[in-house]
Structure 1
Amino acid sequence: MQRITEITKLHREMIVRWHTKPIENHYTGFLGLVCQQLTYNFQLWHEEDIARSKDVPDSTIAQVKRAIDRYNQQRNDYIEKLDDWITDRLEQLQVTPAPNATQNTETAGSSIDRLAILALRIYHLQEQAERTDATPEHRASVAGKLGIAVMQQQDLSRSAQELIDDIFAGRKKHKTYRQMKMYNDPTLNPYLYKAAG
């Protein structure tokens, strides 16, 4: 199992790279899943920016909304894949939770997802802090937000590592929680199945 520091390094380096080069994933194994999950967060972040624009036609906003739904579904699917990988690895290592093992409200996969979003936030706040066309007040405000985001990343990284260590030591229970997004399923979204009928 990779250390969280490896995961946050991957997040940071890929986000920088993908802002100037095509999105690619050359990783394998667990880090390959981490990188793929990040691609959906990366694309989702930028579609969300477009969705807030006032100078694009409604038809573009509709396309963007569909892209947001698709990337969000894929993002959640890959949270599950991260947790499934951990489940499989625990079985391979024959790790079983101790009788008194407790369970977190958040899975390791969800923590990695949150770290991906924080990495994107930090990158874009840094970008704002370095704007030469912005006022000193804007840059100062952004610097404050950036400091908070970095602190949150450090806190979450530490907690995620503790969770993973506890899971592999049998001190915490682990399971994959299925997202079961209903709005993308034509058999579960009433608007979709009634429209098709």
Structure 2
Amino acid sequence: MSAQKYNQLFDEVIKKYHILDNVDQPFKNPFESTSFEHLLYRKSWIDTVQWHYEDIIRLPDIDPIEALVLKRKIDASNQDRTDMVEYIDSYFLDKFKDVKVKKGAKINSETPAWAIDRLSILALKIYHMNEEATRESASDEHRAKCQEKLNVLLEQRVDLSTAIDDLLNDFAAGDKYVKVYKQMKMYNDEDTNPMLYKKK
């Protein structure tokens, strides 16, 4: 499955979300739970909902209590996002486990899943920048500026997609090896966040 296919799936998820355009809408994953597509679909949905959480919490007149509830949702979403990245990396670890790594093989600066995470966010930027570039109520100047930014984002997606495909090909050939460090976030952990464990 190429990065181009990832992009197509991400675009489908974002369009599906915007049919109702509601952060509280029900979620249904159309792919088999054991499939790689299932992981990508779930990842993209989390990112899409969180994108809109981030928009809502920036409302200048938001009720403080509602903002706090929303902040908790964003925190939970961030944890879900990280968990999904680790699931995706686990898929790649298993996929390439039998590859014979060549002598002198190198490690990459980021894992495949974190690169795919950036691709997922890029799909959201492209969707929403396109909205602004074509928004009829906006000025011509605004639309032109957003179109320029959209062109850069589209170019960035081509470059990142190519880099991801190259990385996976390097793994398959044994030119690079997969190594994953689990995220060690401390602020959600009652045993490592002093503000939480002091309350125990």
Q: Which residue of 1 aligns with 2:149?
A: 145
CA distance in 1, matches of 2:6, 2:181: 21
Cα shift at 1:23: 3.5
Q: Which residue of 2 aligns with 1:57?
A: 63
Could you list the per-position Cα deviations for residues 47-96 of structure 1 after superposition, in whole angstroms to 9, with x for gaps in the alignment?
A: 111111101111111111111111111101111111111111222xx213
Aligned residue for 1:19, secondary structure, equals helix
Question: Which of 110, 119, 130 is 2:134 aligned to?
Answer: 130
CA distance in 1, matches of 2:46, 2:13: 12
CA distance in 1, matches of 2:195, 2:66: 22
**AA matched with 1:109:** A
Q: Which residue of 1 aligns with 2:23?
A: none
Unaligned runs of 5+ in 1: none
Fraction of identical pairs, as percent: 39
* Alignment RMSD (CA, Å): 1.1
Alignment of 1:163-178 (within 5 A): 163-178=167-182
Cα shift at 1:177: 2.0
Could you list the per-position Cα deviations for residues 101-135 of structure 1 after superposition, in whole angstroms to 9, with x for gaps in the alignment?
A: 11111110001100000000000001111111111
Cα shift at 1:46: 0.7
Is the CA contact (8 Å cut-off) linking 1:83 and 1:175 kept in structure 2? no
Alignment of 1:1-197 (within 5 A): 2-21=1-20, 22-28=26-32, 29-91=35-97, 94-194=98-198, 196-197=199-200
CA distance in 2, matches of 1:156, 1:24: 28
CA distance in 2, matches of 1:67, 1:170: 41
**Number of equivalent positions:** 193
TM-score, length basis structure 1:
0.94
**AA matched with 2:102:** A
CA distance in 2, matches of 1:55, 1:189: 31
CA distance in 2, matches of 1:111, 1:96: 23
